[in-house]
């Protein structure tokens, strides 16, 4: 398996090396190669991500991605959006897992309110919300495929009571749930967001459109503590990119204070996606081992640095692997 490693900017350069080490420890057979994209590269070369970079990313079986600083500079375009588009990474997947609940938020990543069809007029400004049959079908199918056994079900988050475009989204997702033979229900996104926070144990896989999923997945992050813990995946039919939910955190970059857990859990999702469930679970267990020793970074109330946490994690992995 070939894995492209993109550290990116800021704390991406601190947490990704830890995740990389963890992957190399459990899977010495993986062929890693670095790809440099981001603001740092833009500042140096005037280009944040060129055609060769995209080709390199496309040549990988999976991508481990840190974070990219998006400067306020008007001459700079978001390259993560560019990468998602070029690699057609249509499903944004975020697990939200804690005591008694295990939710997967599946957000459509390519259309809806973020289709980029916008204009400004004299006295108003418009954004077009595009929902297509193709986009709804592939996200609905992906989400239905992720419904787990043991009474798992698909919840289709929508606002079809107001938006005609969501009548279509809901209809197509229901078709896909029926085709996959999974239990399903639908819920209006506003009430759903509150209910997920109040009764997380009621949910399994939730599928929704782009902006609703953006908001729901951040809100659900409340259930599991800070940004330093949350992994995510961007999945397409041919490519997949795994990244922590957090950004480049310029306020703590370069100080060895970043929590690498989100990045390491993203690496575990990468293995899971590649079919290596055993090592994905092993990584999760090793993280718990380290935390139970009281080794934590500052955001979790501890004193360990990023590198020291990584060292402890690699020791825990080796212990688990040999036991
Ligand atoms: P951020 O996620 O970088 O940081 C928000 C707050 O959380 C900061 O106080 C930071 O110190 C803290 N934090 C984040 N990750 C942490 C970790 N692993 N351990 C401990 N503390 C952590 O979001 P912010 O500040 O809004 O954005 C900073 C830059 O990152 C911006 O340029 C933004 O555009 C970019 N960004 C990039 C993303 C990506 O590449 N996927 C996602 C979000 C933001
Ligand atoms: Mg967001």
Say whether both 187 and 283 belong to one domain: no
Q: Which of 61, 102, 190, 311 is labelled catalytic?
A: 190
Q: Are residues 16 and 114 in the same domain?
A: no
pLDDT of residue 225: 80
Contact yes or no for 262/246 (Cβ under 8 A): yes
Check if 166 has its Cβ closer than 6 Å to any atom of ligand 1.
no
State which of 227, 258, 278 marks the end of a domain: 227
Q: Are residues 126 and 106 in the same domain?
A: yes
Instruction: Tell me, yes or no, whether 107 and 219 share the same domain.
Output: yes
Same domain, 107 and 213: yes
Q: What is the mean pLDDT of residues 109-136?
A: 94
Q: pLDDT tens, 64-119?
A: 999 998 877 776 777 888 899 899 999 999 999 999 999 999 999 999 998 889 99
The residue-averaged pLDDT of 170-181 equals: 97
pLDDT at 56: 97
Give the predicted TM-score (pTM) of the model. Answer: 0.94
104 and 192 together in one domain: yes
**CB of 236 within 8 A of CB of 90?**
yes
In this structure, are 128 and 192 located in the same domain?
Answer: yes
Total tally of structural domains belonging to the chain: 2
Q: How many CB atoms lie within 10 A of CB 124?
A: 7
Do 107 and 217 sit in the same domain of this protein?
yes
Note the pLDDT of residue 78: 77
CATH number at residue 34: 3.40.718.10
Residue pLDDT, tens place only, 265-303: 999 999 999 999 999 999 999 999 999 999 999 999 999
For the Cβ of 247 lying below 6 angstroms from any atom of ligand 1, the answer is: yes
CB 185 within 8 A of CB 155: yes
Asked if 274 and 307 sit in the same domain, the reply is yes
- The ligand that comes nearest to the alpha carbon of residue 81 is 1
258 lines ligand 1 (CB under 6 A): yes
41 catalytic per annotation? no
The per-residue pLDDT for 221 is: 87
Same domain, 78 and 101: no
pLDDT digits (tens, 9 = 90+) for 233-244: 999 999 999 999
Which one of 197, 227, 257 terminates a domain?
227
Tell me the average pLDDT of the chain: 95
Using most ligand atoms within 8 A of CB, pick from 66, 71, 107, 227 the residue to mutate for ligand 1.
227
Query: Is the confidence at residue 39, as pLDDT, over 90?
Result: no
Using the predicted structure, report yes or no on whether residue 40 has a pLDDT greater than 90: no
The ligand minimizing its distance to the Cα of 234 is 1
Residues 142 and 223 in one domain: yes
Percent of the chain whose predicted confidence (pLDDT) is above 90 = 85
pLDDT value for 31: 98
pLDDT at 82: 86
- Among residues 171, 204, 227, which one ends one of the domains? 227
Cα gap 164→72, rounded to integer Å: 35
Choice between 48 and 277, residue whose per-residue pLDDT is larger: 277
Residue 151 has pLDDT above 90, yes or no: no
Q: What is the pLDDT of residue 95?
A: 94
In terms of domains, do 110 and 217 share one? yes
Q: Ligand 1, closest atom to CA 71?
A: 32
218 a catalytic residue: yes
Q: Is the CB of 67 under 6 A from ligand 1?
A: yes
Q: Is 243 in the pocket of ligand 1 (CB under 6 A)?
A: yes
Ligand 1 pocket test: pick from 247, 300, 303 the residue with the most ligand atoms within 8 Å of its Cβ: 247
Range of the domain at 177: 95-227
Over residues 211-238, mean pLDDT: 92
């Amino acid at each position: 398996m070939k894995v492209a490693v993109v550290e990116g900017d800021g704390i991406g350069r601190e947490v990704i090396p830890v995740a990389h080490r963890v992957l190399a420890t459990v899977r010495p057979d993986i062929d890693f190669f670095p790809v440099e994209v981001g603001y740092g590269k833009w500042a140096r070369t005037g280009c944040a991500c060129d055609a060769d970079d995209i080709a390199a990313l496309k040549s990988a079986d999976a991508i481990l991605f840190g974070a990219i600083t998006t400067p306020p500079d008007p001459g700079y375009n978001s390259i993560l959006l560019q990468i998602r588009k070029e690699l057609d990474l249509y499903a944004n997947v975020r697990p939200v897992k804690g005591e008694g609940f295990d939710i997967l938020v599946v957000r459509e990543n390519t259309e809806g309110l973020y289709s980029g069809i916008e204009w400004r007029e004299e006295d108003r400004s418009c954004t077009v919300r595009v929902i297509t049959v193709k986009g709804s079908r592939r996200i609905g199918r992906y989400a239905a495929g992720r419904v787990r056994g043991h009474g798992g079900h698909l919840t289709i988050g929508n606002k079809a009571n107001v938006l005609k475009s969501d009548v279509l989204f809901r209809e197509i997702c229901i078709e896909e749930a029926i085709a996959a033979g999974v239990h399903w229900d639908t819920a209006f996104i506003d009430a759903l967001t509150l209910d997920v926070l109040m009764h997380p144990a009621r949910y399994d896989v939730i599928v929704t459109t782009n902006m609703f999923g953006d908001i729901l997945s951040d809100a659900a992050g409340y259930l599991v503590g800070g940004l330093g813990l949350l992994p995510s995946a961007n999945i397409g039919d041919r490519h997949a990119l795994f990244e922590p939910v957090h950004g480049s955190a310029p306020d703590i970059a370069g100080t060895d204070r970043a929590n690498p857990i989100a990045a390491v859990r993203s690496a575990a999702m990468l293995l899971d996606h590649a079919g290596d469930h055993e090592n994905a679970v092993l990584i999760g267990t090793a993280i718990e081992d380290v935390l139970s020793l009281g080794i934590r970074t500052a955001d979790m109330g501890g004193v360990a640095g990023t590198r020291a946490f990584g060292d402890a994690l690699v020791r825990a992995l080796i212990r688990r692997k040999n036991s």
